[in-house]
Amino acid sequence: MEIKTEILTKLSPKIQKAIKLIESSAKAKQVIFLRYHNDCDGYTAAVALDTLIHKKISENHFKERDTFYFYRRQPCQAPFYSFEDSTRDINYIYDSMVTRNKEPLMVLVDNGSSEQDLEGLRRLKTYGFRIIVIDHHPPSELVDDVVDIHINPWHVKKDPLLSAGTLAAHIAFLGMQQKHEEFYNFLAAISSISDKAEGEEYRAVFEKVKNKYSYDELKLIGDVVDYESQRSGYIESWVLIKELLTNQGGKREEIIKTSSNNRKYKQEQSLKTSLKYADTKIDNDKVVTWLDIGSTSFRGDYPSMRVIIGSLHREIEAKNKDKEVITFAYSSEMITLRANDKSKFDSNKIIKNLKESFPYAKIDGGGHPHAASIRFISASRDEIIQAIKKLI
């Protein structure tokens, strides 16, 4: 992770401040929380930061069991820090038989920067939490007024191709006195490929790992991480995913082999279904596809809505390389979308327009300009879809 880019250089002051806050919280024996999105990018970021946080806590506590008491790690099922997440974390501090200090530190990674996060973040502040957000999604200015440190590449440049896993691996590398560079490069490469964030930082780390791991090998590990995290549902899958990313127990290949047949079968079956029922229209150089995912997949089954639309979008894009490609998948209460680099489509502008046009539809959502989700009440679905069709 010894790489220098414009983004990482300009974020350096905030990164150093975050490392110092983690160190000071550990020294003061404050509880440290690590929360992350329940996907490959979130898990790679969490595994990287876990090495740093665990080390700092171990250095400042006398008993190994203290790590259990003073460190909490858990994924967020939603792509934001929710009301329920904050309730669970506040309860851990204040509704416990174990005496804990009352200025805990929350480290949020791969979420935390949007307006959807604000309610949960404000509740943490009410109970004295200090908050570090490490994210790569388009940020809300309101978040900066709530959190202590907000590390986000969007503060440096628009639409940065930098994954949260790469950002977290860089922070952990610096916090660990620049040790274990190969491991952090490996995590950064996997997260970048998995999250389709193959920018300047990715190219730098891939150059350092390509002699040991091919692109396809890194992608495969990322795919299996996503498979494990989704199939486990609300059960924490840290043990299996950490083994996939560290191979400390030598079980990585066995885990990949065990999941391989079922994962491939479900992905192939899902793509066949999507192609069968997708409604694709080509207008000059624009290809727009709509898929009713609510009637073509099982709720809670693998692959997820995110994986299904990603697979369908890539398939259509491969057949229309010179065209603008936009793909939508919708259920009764949600639309997930993807757009290629040739598209001028901006999901956040679309969401803002929909909120203004349909104030009664309880519209919420967000994400990247070319990859996002929109939520609404089911009664408004048809008019929301028609409105999007007119907007594009």
Residue (of 237, 236, 165, 239) closest to 196 by Cα position: 165
Distance CA 346, CA 369 (A): 4
Domains defined along the chain, listed by start: 6-246 (3.90.1640.30), 268-391 (3.10.310.30)
Cβ distance 336 to 304 under 8 Å?
no
Name the pLDDT band for 1 (thresholds 50, 70, 90). low
Could you report the per-residue pLDDT of 127-184, keeping only the tens digit for each?
999 999 999 999 999 999 999 999 999 999 988 999 999 999 999 999 998 899 999 9
Name the pLDDT band for 300 (thresholds 50, 70, 90). confident
Name the pLDDT band for 189 (thresholds 50, 70, 90). very high
Name the pLDDT band for 93 (thresholds 50, 70, 90). confident
Average pLDDT value over all residues in the chain: 93
Mean pLDDT calculated for residue range 225-242: 91
The pTM of the full predicted model, rounded to 2 decimals, is 0.90
E-assigned strand segments in the chain: 32-37, 71-76, 105-109, 130-134, 149-151, 279-283, 286-292, 324-330, 334-339, 364-368, 371-375
